[in-house]
Amino acid sequence: MSSSTANTSSEPGGQPKLRPWDAFRFRDYRFLWLAAFASTIAMWIRILGTTQWIEDDTGTAAALAIVGIIQLFVQIPSLLYGGALSDKIDRKRLMSAANAVSLLVLLGLGLLDAGGILQLWMVYAAIGITAAAQMMVNPARSALMPATVPRTHIMLGVTTDTASQSVAMIVGPLIFAYVASAFGLTTVFLVGSVVSALAMVAPLFIRAVGRAEGGSDGSTIARIREGFWFVVRHPILPGLFLLDTGNTVVSFYREILPALARGLFRSDAAGTGLLGAANSAGAVFGAIGALFFAGYRAKGMLVLYATLVYAIALFGFGSVNTLWMGMVMIAILGGADAITVAVRQTTVQLTTPDHMRGRAFSFMILAAQTANNIGTIWVGFWAAAIGPGNTMIMGGVIAILATLTVWRVWRPIREYRYP
């Protein structure tokens, strides 16, 4: 329960009448939101700043490919360790410490670049350290959410956070573009460190207890294993994770938008940018739309409906041949995906005990990231083999079959109701 209170009018049935902005009425939630928003902006400034520095320094795609390899090796163990750690120590201090690491690394990059002594291996090391730090932040932040709002407001908190993260994914690149063009990459790194400082300080103002109650002691490996078996035996979560994986693997388009823009719409970098912006805008509106479903009891069916809309939109995206129609379709994809993310996160919050929540979120994020990576390979391979349009249509067919299979097989998802 939040340490702050807010008066909310009630409906005749006794349930509070929720408004889309009501999560911000709670002091602790505002500070958690601020930390998350600043952390995401800093992350994008770091990602774009370091990759642009590598591109300017080497001019080779191979040097950028190494970034993906580094992140692959550091993110998985960091994510699992971060989930286990967030169920053991104060989550507020864990968030603050991880953001402090990002602050110091970005500050170091700025000072080294200003002195003209920044080298490629240093940038790679910085990418690995900050990627690991970000993975430590995510489970702790998600697990802390229920402590900042009443249980009746968790859906609002999650959907507000989802919408805000989508906005931050737009704001961060815009800040990078302006600062890089006006002042250079040195200033980009320094600005990123300032934003990280805000993300570091904000969690410390949260009054709610940050340490999980209950749980078992033991080694980190034992705690990770305990979290894994909790998720596997959970009546709802495996089905939700498989639903997301089945759809994402056959349709993950974000990493290959340039190929889709060229193959579907005969467009260049401008088309890629417009498609990316439309997808992010759709995600924002989808998350805002999810706020109005906070009182919808059949949460399991809601995620199935949204996933089915996503699958059908894949047909549209693969079938249209004009850029503006492609922007409409990819905006629908972004909106439907945002709704499924919000409901999935809310379900984890509501059906997982406090002492297990960090690990449950770490496995949810791990499943999503693994699906993203496999999906990039799948879509890239099939786009080269049968064309981008046919790949999206094929993905739509498989996604519909996957959604209907989960609907038929996973009865607890169909029957899940809250409140």
3-state secondary structure the chain: CCCCCCCCCECCCCCECCCCCHHHHCHHHHHHHHHHHHHHHHHHHHHHHHHHHHHHHHCCHHHHHHHHHHHHHHHHHHHHHHHHHHCCCCHHHHHHHHHHHHHHHHHHHHHHHHCCCCCHHHHHHHHHHHHHHHHHHHHHHHHHHHHCCCHHHHHHHHHHHHHHHHHHHHHHHHHHHHHHHHHCHHHHHHHHHHHHHHHHHHHHHCCCCCCCCCCCCCCHHHHHHHHHHHHHHCCCHHHHHHHHHHHHHCCCCHHHHHHHHHHHHCCCHHHHHHHHHHHHHHHHHHHHHHHCCCCCCCHHHHHHHHHHHHHHHHHHHHHCCCHHHHHHHHHHHHHHHHHHHHHHHHHHHHHCCHHHHHHHHHHHHHHHHHHHHHHHHHHHHHHHHHCHHHHHHHHHHHHHHHHHHHHHHCHHHHHCCCC
> Is 84 a domain residue?
yes
Q: Is the CB of residue 32 less than 8 Å from the CB of residue 203? A: yes
Q: Which two tokens stand for residue 126?
A: 């910085």
For tokens 């350290």, the residue is: 129
**What's the domain count of the chain?**
2
Report yes or no on 126 lying in a domain: yes
pLDDT at 335: 93
Is the same domain home to 184 and 237?
no
* Domain assignment of residue 4, yes or no: no
**Do 79 and 53 lie in a common domain?**
yes
Structure confidence at residue 162 (pLDDT): 83
Domain boundary among the residues 212, 243, 258 is at 212
Tokens for 25? 């009425």
Of the residues 212, 246, 271, the one at which a domain ends: 212
Same domain, 105 and 251: no
Is 87 within a domain?
yes
Q: Are 343 and 303 in contact (CB under 8 A)?
A: yes
Query: Cα separation of 182 and 179, whole Å?
Result: 5
Indicate if 322 and 392 belong to the same structural domain: yes
Query: Do 298 and 193 fall into the same domain?
Result: no
* Residue 381 and residue 304 share a domain: yes
| 244 within domain boundaries | yes
Report d(CA 67, CA 50) in Å as an integer.
9
203 and 249, same structural domain?
no
- For residue 9, is it within any domain? no
Is the domain of 248 the same as that of 204? no
Whether residue 8 lies inside any domain: the answer is no
- pLDDT reported for residue 255: 62
**Are residue 187 and residue 81 in the same domain, yes or no?**
yes
Helices 91-114 and 120-144: angle between axes, nearest 10 degrees:
160
Q: What number of other Cβ atoms are within 10 A of residue 212's Cβ?
A: 22
Backbone angles phi, psi at 16, to 5 degrees: -65, 140
Return the CATH number at 200. Answer: 1.20.1250.20
What pLDDT score does 259 carry? Answer: 75
Asked if residues 35 and 99 have their Cβ atoms less than 8 Å apart, the reply is yes
d(CA 369, CA 78): 13
Q: What count of residues does the chain have?
A: 419
Segment-wise mean pLDDT, segments of 10 residues, the chain, 419 residues: 44 57 90 96 90 84 76 85 89 96 98 96 95 91 90 84 85 88 94 98 92 71 90 91 90 75 79 80 86 80 93 92 92 92 85 88 86 80 86 94 92 83
Specify whether 249 is located in the same domain as 367. yes
10 backbone dihedrals φ, ψ, rounded to 5°: -110, 155
In a domain, 218, yes or no: no
Question: What's the number of CA atoms in the CB half-sphere (13 Å) around residue 145?
Answer: 34
The boundaries of the domain holding residue 104 are 23-212
Asked whether residue 35 falls in the same domain as residue 166, the answer is yes
Of the residues 212, 241, 267, the one at which a domain ends: 212
191 and 165 housed in the same domain: yes
pTM: 0.78
